[in-house]
């Protein structure tokens, strides 16, 4: 079941390693499925970083900008993800 709505990713609290969670099902977003929005996905143009949930029966598209704002060095985190 794939959702057409965009959700806002969450930053997992109390995690030793910055971890993003799906705003729909709260599953961990894999760093391999977090990428820059180059206009390929029609979301709010201000959403610069997209995370796709790979959990069974979810498949939600998440805007990760707010969650990444809570990470001290989000560019470093994104470089690791890329």
- Where in the sequence is the domain holding 17, given as residue range(s)? 6-81
1 domain residue, yes or no: no
The answer on pLDDT for 4 being more than 60 is: no
Give 24-55 pLDDT, tens digit per residue. Answer: 999 999 989 998 887 766 666 678 889 999 99
Give 6-23 pLDDT, tens digit per residue. Answer: 899 999 988 777 889 999
The tally of domains found in the chain comes to 1
Report the alpha-carbon angle 32-1-43, nearest 5. 60
CA nearest 53: which of 79, 74, 25?
Answer: 25
Tokens matching residue 56: 């069974």
pTM here is 0.78
């Amino acid at each position: 079941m794939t959702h057409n709505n965009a959700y806002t990713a969450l930053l997992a609290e109390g995690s030793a390693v910055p971890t993003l969670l799906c705003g729909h099902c709260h599953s961990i977003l894999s760093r391999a499925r977090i990428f820059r929005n180059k206009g390929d996905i029609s979301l709010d143009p201000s959403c610069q970083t997209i995370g796709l949930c790979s959990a069974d029966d979810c498949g939600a598209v998440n805007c990760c900008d707010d969650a990444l704002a809570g990470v001290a060095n989000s560019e470093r985190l994104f470089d690791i993800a890329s």
